Amino acid sequence: MTQTRYRHIHSKVAAGQGVYMPYVLAGYPDYDASLAAAKALIDGGADGLELGLPFRDPVADGPVIEAAANIALDKGFKAAQIIDFIKALRTYAPDLPLTLMSYYNIVLAKDAEAFIADLAHAGLDGLLIPDLPPEHAEDIYPLTQKNGMEMIFIVAPTSDEQRFAIINEYAGGFIYVVTKMGITGMQDNYDANISALFSRIKTHFTLPAIAGFGISTPDNARDMMSNGANGVIIGSKIIQLCEESYQGSAFSPALLIDHTQKIKAAL
Protein backbone atom coordinates (compact mmCIF):
# COMPACT_ATOMS: atom_id res chain seq x y z
CA MET A 1 0.00 0.00 0.00
CA THR A 2 1.37 3.37 -0.97
CA GLN A 3 1.50 6.39 1.34
CA THR A 4 -0.86 8.99 -0.10
CA ARG A 5 -2.86 11.93 1.18
CA TYR A 6 -5.49 9.49 2.41
CA ARG A 7 -3.40 9.40 5.57
CA HIS A 8 -5.15 12.65 6.52
CA ILE A 9 -8.49 10.83 6.39
CA HIS A 10 -7.09 7.90 8.32
CA SER A 11 -5.88 10.26 11.05
CA LYS A 12 -9.31 11.88 11.40
CA VAL A 13 -11.05 8.52 11.58
CA ALA A 14 -8.55 7.29 14.17
CA ALA A 15 -9.38 10.40 16.21
CA GLY A 16 -13.09 9.53 16.06
CA GLN A 17 -14.04 12.14 13.48
CA GLY A 18 -16.38 11.52 10.57
CA VAL A 19 -15.09 12.49 7.13
CA TYR A 20 -16.94 14.01 4.19
CA MET A 21 -15.89 13.46 0.59
CA PRO A 22 -18.40 15.05 -1.79
CA TYR A 23 -18.57 14.21 -5.49
CA VAL A 24 -17.87 16.76 -8.23
CA LEU A 25 -18.55 16.02 -11.89
CA ALA A 26 -15.78 17.63 -13.94
CA GLY A 27 -17.22 19.76 -16.74
CA TYR A 28 -20.65 20.31 -15.19
CA PRO A 29 -22.34 22.77 -15.52
CA ASP A 30 -19.25 23.74 -17.52
CA TYR A 31 -15.52 23.40 -16.91
CA ASP A 32 -15.02 26.66 -15.00
CA ALA A 33 -18.16 26.17 -12.91
CA SER A 34 -17.18 22.62 -11.96
CA LEU A 35 -13.79 23.85 -10.83
CA ALA A 36 -15.47 26.63 -8.84
CA ALA A 37 -17.81 24.05 -7.30
CA ALA A 38 -14.88 21.86 -6.24
CA LYS A 39 -13.16 24.83 -4.63
CA ALA A 40 -16.40 25.79 -2.84
CA LEU A 41 -16.63 22.29 -1.35
CA ILE A 42 -13.05 22.58 -0.18
CA ASP A 43 -13.76 26.00 1.31
CA GLY A 44 -16.77 24.54 3.09
CA GLY A 45 -14.57 21.98 4.84
CA ALA A 46 -14.64 18.84 2.69
CA ASP A 47 -12.09 16.26 3.85
CA GLY A 48 -11.52 15.00 0.30
CA LEU A 49 -13.16 15.02 -3.10
CA GLU A 50 -14.44 12.32 -5.42
CA LEU A 51 -14.06 13.59 -8.98
CA GLY A 52 -16.36 12.23 -11.64
CA LEU A 53 -15.27 11.83 -15.26
CA PRO A 54 -18.29 12.27 -17.60
CA PHE A 55 -19.31 9.13 -19.49
CA ARG A 56 -22.25 8.43 -21.81
CA ASP A 57 -23.24 5.09 -20.27
CA PRO A 58 -22.63 5.34 -16.50
CA VAL A 59 -23.91 1.99 -15.19
CA ALA A 60 -23.64 2.92 -11.49
CA ASP A 61 -24.95 6.49 -11.67
CA GLY A 62 -28.55 7.55 -11.29
CA PRO A 63 -30.50 9.88 -13.59
CA VAL A 64 -29.22 13.12 -12.02
CA ILE A 65 -25.53 12.35 -12.58
CA GLU A 66 -26.18 10.70 -15.95
CA ALA A 67 -28.01 13.79 -17.23
CA ALA A 68 -25.26 16.07 -15.93
CA ALA A 69 -22.57 13.93 -17.57
CA ASN A 70 -24.32 14.21 -20.91
CA ILE A 71 -24.53 17.98 -20.53
CA ALA A 72 -20.81 18.16 -19.79
CA LEU A 73 -20.00 16.01 -22.82
CA ASP A 74 -22.38 17.96 -25.07
CA LYS A 75 -20.55 21.12 -24.06
CA GLY A 76 -17.31 19.57 -25.27
CA PHE A 77 -15.66 18.19 -22.14
CA LYS A 78 -12.87 15.74 -23.03
CA ALA A 79 -11.38 13.09 -20.77
CA ALA A 80 -7.92 14.62 -21.22
CA GLN A 81 -9.16 17.78 -19.45
CA ILE A 82 -9.32 15.91 -16.17
CA ILE A 83 -5.54 16.25 -15.92
CA ASP A 84 -5.67 20.05 -15.81
CA PHE A 85 -8.69 19.84 -13.50
CA ILE A 86 -6.72 17.76 -10.99
CA LYS A 87 -3.66 20.01 -11.31
CA ALA A 88 -5.76 23.07 -10.50
CA LEU A 89 -7.26 21.43 -7.41
CA ARG A 90 -3.89 20.14 -6.27
CA THR A 91 -2.53 23.69 -6.42
CA TYR A 92 -5.57 24.98 -4.52
CA ALA A 93 -5.47 22.27 -1.83
CA PRO A 94 -2.04 20.59 -1.68
CA ASP A 95 -2.92 18.09 1.07
CA LEU A 96 -6.52 17.20 0.12
CA PRO A 97 -7.14 13.56 -0.93
CA LEU A 98 -8.47 13.42 -4.49
CA THR A 99 -10.17 10.30 -5.86
CA LEU A 100 -11.16 9.90 -9.52
CA MET A 101 -14.22 7.82 -10.39
CA SER A 102 -13.88 6.66 -13.99
CA TYR A 103 -15.45 3.85 -15.96
CA TYR A 104 -13.04 1.27 -17.32
CA ASN A 105 -13.67 2.07 -21.00
CA ILE A 106 -12.17 5.53 -20.54
CA VAL A 107 -9.05 4.17 -18.85
CA LEU A 108 -8.51 1.62 -21.61
CA ALA A 109 -9.25 4.09 -24.40
CA LYS A 110 -6.67 6.55 -23.07
CA ASP A 111 -3.97 3.82 -22.73
CA ALA A 112 -4.12 2.71 -19.11
CA GLU A 113 -0.39 2.97 -18.39
CA ALA A 114 0.00 6.46 -19.82
CA PHE A 115 -3.30 7.74 -18.41
CA ILE A 116 -2.59 6.55 -14.87
CA ALA A 117 0.89 8.03 -14.99
CA ASP A 118 -0.57 11.37 -16.12
CA LEU A 119 -3.19 11.28 -13.35
CA ALA A 120 -0.55 10.61 -10.73
CA HIS A 121 1.71 13.35 -12.04
CA ALA A 122 -1.24 15.77 -11.87
CA GLY A 123 -1.66 14.96 -8.17
CA LEU A 124 -4.38 12.28 -8.01
CA ASP A 125 -4.37 9.99 -4.97
CA GLY A 126 -6.78 7.22 -5.88
CA LEU A 127 -8.72 5.61 -8.71
CA LEU A 128 -12.20 4.09 -8.40
CA ILE A 129 -13.39 2.07 -11.42
CA PRO A 130 -16.92 0.88 -10.54
CA ASP A 131 -17.22 -1.53 -13.48
CA LEU A 132 -13.85 -3.19 -12.82
CA PRO A 133 -14.41 -6.18 -10.51
CA PRO A 134 -11.60 -6.83 -8.02
CA GLU A 135 -11.21 -10.27 -9.60
CA HIS A 136 -9.86 -8.49 -12.69
CA ALA A 137 -7.84 -5.73 -11.03
CA GLU A 138 -4.47 -7.38 -11.57
CA ASP A 139 -3.75 -5.39 -14.75
CA ILE A 140 -4.48 -1.95 -13.27
CA TYR A 141 -3.20 -2.44 -9.73
CA PRO A 142 0.53 -2.57 -10.65
CA LEU A 143 0.13 0.65 -12.64
CA THR A 144 -1.41 2.49 -9.70
CA GLN A 145 1.24 1.18 -7.32
CA LYS A 146 4.02 2.13 -9.69
CA ASN A 147 2.69 5.69 -9.71
CA GLY A 148 2.02 6.03 -5.98
CA MET A 149 -1.76 5.83 -6.26
CA GLU A 150 -4.37 3.75 -4.45
CA MET A 151 -7.17 1.65 -5.92
CA ILE A 152 -10.55 2.26 -4.29
CA PHE A 153 -13.13 -0.52 -4.27
CA ILE A 154 -16.86 -0.75 -3.66
CA VAL A 155 -18.41 -3.08 -1.08
CA ALA A 156 -22.14 -3.74 -1.42
CA PRO A 157 -24.73 -5.39 0.84
CA THR A 158 -24.40 -8.50 -1.34
CA SER A 159 -20.59 -8.73 -0.99
CA ASP A 160 -19.47 -11.94 0.71
CA GLU A 161 -16.31 -12.93 2.56
CA GLN A 162 -14.72 -14.27 -0.60
CA ARG A 163 -15.17 -10.89 -2.30
CA PHE A 164 -13.82 -9.15 0.82
CA ALA A 165 -10.66 -11.25 0.64
CA ILE A 166 -10.06 -10.36 -3.01
CA ILE A 167 -10.65 -6.65 -2.39
CA ASN A 168 -8.23 -6.76 0.52
CA GLU A 169 -5.44 -7.76 -1.86
CA TYR A 170 -5.72 -4.49 -3.78
CA ALA A 171 -7.65 -1.90 -1.77
CA GLY A 172 -6.14 1.31 -0.45
CA GLY A 173 -7.36 4.70 0.71
CA PHE A 174 -10.82 3.75 1.93
CA ILE A 175 -13.65 1.31 1.30
CA TYR A 176 -16.59 2.78 -0.63
CA VAL A 177 -19.68 1.25 0.99
CA VAL A 178 -22.82 1.07 -1.14
CA THR A 179 -25.71 1.58 1.29
CA LYS A 180 -28.41 0.31 -1.08
CA MET A 181 -28.59 -1.85 -4.16
CA GLY A 182 -29.06 -0.31 -7.60
CA ILE A 183 -27.88 3.06 -8.87
CA THR A 184 -26.91 6.09 -6.86
CA GLY A 185 -29.34 8.92 -6.23
CA MET A 186 -31.16 10.93 -3.56
CA GLN A 187 -33.21 8.23 -1.83
CA ASP A 188 -33.64 7.08 1.75
CA ASN A 189 -34.16 3.36 1.02
CA TYR A 190 -31.01 2.03 2.65
CA ASP A 191 -30.37 -1.66 3.03
CA ALA A 192 -32.15 -2.96 6.13
CA ASN A 193 -28.96 -4.64 7.33
CA ILE A 194 -26.63 -1.68 6.79
CA SER A 195 -25.39 -1.74 10.39
CA ALA A 196 -24.48 -5.42 10.07
CA LEU A 197 -22.70 -4.65 6.79
CA PHE A 198 -20.47 -2.05 8.45
CA SER A 199 -19.72 -4.51 11.26
CA ARG A 200 -18.68 -7.15 8.73
CA ILE A 201 -16.54 -4.67 6.85
CA LYS A 202 -14.69 -3.63 9.97
CA THR A 203 -13.81 -7.21 10.80
CA HIS A 204 -12.14 -7.61 7.39
CA PHE A 205 -10.66 -4.19 6.59
CA THR A 206 -8.55 -1.68 8.47
CA LEU A 207 -9.38 1.06 5.96
CA PRO A 208 -12.08 3.67 6.70
CA ALA A 209 -15.57 2.65 5.56
CA ILE A 210 -17.16 5.60 3.74
CA ALA A 211 -20.86 5.39 2.88
CA GLY A 212 -22.26 6.41 -0.49
CA PHE A 213 -25.38 6.00 -2.69
CA GLY A 214 -28.60 7.67 -1.58
CA ILE A 215 -27.11 10.16 0.90
CA SER A 216 -28.06 13.82 0.52
CA THR A 217 -28.95 15.41 3.86
CA PRO A 218 -27.41 15.95 7.31
CA ASP A 219 -29.95 13.47 8.70
CA ASN A 220 -28.79 10.86 6.18
CA ALA A 221 -25.19 11.50 7.24
CA ARG A 222 -26.04 11.14 10.94
CA ASP A 223 -27.88 7.91 10.18
CA MET A 224 -24.87 6.46 8.38
CA MET A 225 -22.54 7.40 11.23
CA SER A 226 -24.87 5.80 13.79
CA ASN A 227 -24.82 2.61 11.72
CA GLY A 228 -21.04 2.41 11.74
CA ALA A 229 -19.79 4.51 8.81
CA ASN A 230 -16.58 6.49 9.15
CA GLY A 231 -17.88 9.16 6.79
CA VAL A 232 -20.07 9.85 3.77
CA ILE A 233 -19.91 10.62 0.06
CA ILE A 234 -22.67 12.73 -1.52
CA GLY A 235 -23.07 13.00 -5.28
CA SER A 236 -26.51 13.63 -6.79
CA LYS A 237 -27.34 16.35 -4.25
CA ILE A 238 -24.11 18.15 -5.17
CA ILE A 239 -25.08 18.03 -8.85
CA GLN A 240 -28.46 19.54 -7.94
CA LEU A 241 -26.80 22.31 -5.94
CA CYS A 242 -24.40 23.01 -8.81
CA GLU A 243 -27.38 23.48 -11.12
CA GLU A 244 -29.05 25.82 -8.65
CA SER A 245 -25.82 27.79 -8.23
CA TYR A 246 -25.24 28.33 -11.95
CA GLN A 247 -26.97 31.29 -13.51
CA GLY A 248 -25.97 31.85 -17.10
CA SER A 249 -22.20 32.13 -16.94
CA ALA A 250 -22.03 33.09 -13.24
CA PHE A 251 -21.47 30.54 -10.48
CA SER A 252 -22.22 31.28 -6.82
CA PRO A 253 -20.49 29.06 -4.23
CA ALA A 254 -22.80 29.91 -1.32
CA LEU A 255 -25.16 26.90 -1.51
CA LEU A 256 -22.32 24.40 -1.77
CA ILE A 257 -20.40 25.93 1.12
CA ASP A 258 -23.51 26.00 3.30
CA HIS A 259 -24.44 22.39 2.51
CA THR A 260 -20.89 21.20 3.15
CA GLN A 261 -20.77 22.91 6.52
CA LYS A 262 -24.09 21.33 7.52
CA ILE A 263 -22.91 17.85 6.52
CA LYS A 264 -19.66 18.36 8.41
CA ALA A 265 -21.59 19.42 11.50
CA ALA A 266 -23.73 16.28 11.25
CA LEU A 267 -20.64 14.08 11.26
Domain that holds residue 22: 6-266
pLDDT in tens, 85-97: 999 999 999 999 9
Say if 170 falls within a structural domain: yes
Percent of the chain clearing pLDDT 70 (strictly above)? 93
**What's residue 58's pLDDT?**
67
11: left (phi over 0), alpha (psi -120 to 50) or beta: alpha
- pLDDT for the residue 72: 96
CA–CA distance, 85 with 91 (Å, rounded to integer): 10
pLDDT digits (tens, 9 = 90+) for 18-74: 999 999 999 999 999 999 999 999 999 999 999 999 988 766 667 899 999 999 999
pLDDT at 185: 46
Structurally, the chain folds into a number of domains equal to 1
HEC secondary structure over 180-193: CCCCCCCCCCCCCC
Rounded distance between C-alpha atoms, residue 252 and residue 256, angstroms: 9
CATH of the domain at 228: 3.20.20.70
The catalytic residues are: 50, 61
- The predicted model scores a pTM of 0.93
Q: Is residue 262 part of a domain?
A: yes
Structural domain contains residue 244: yes
- Residue 186 clears pLDDT 70, i.e. is over it: no
Query: Residue 193's pLDDT is what?
Result: 81
The pLDDT value given to residue 105: 93
Instruction: Tell me the residue ranges of DSSP E strands in the chain.
Output: 19-20, 23-25, 49-52, 98-101, 126-128, 150-155, 171-178, 209-212, 231-232, 246-247, 250-251
Residue 1 forms part of a structural domain: no
* pLDDT value of residue 214: 85
* Confidence category of residue 182, pLDDT binned at 50, 70, 90: very low
The pLDDT of residue 62 is 77
Residues 6+ apart with CB under 8 A from 24: 34, 37, 38, 41, 49, 50, 51, 52, 238
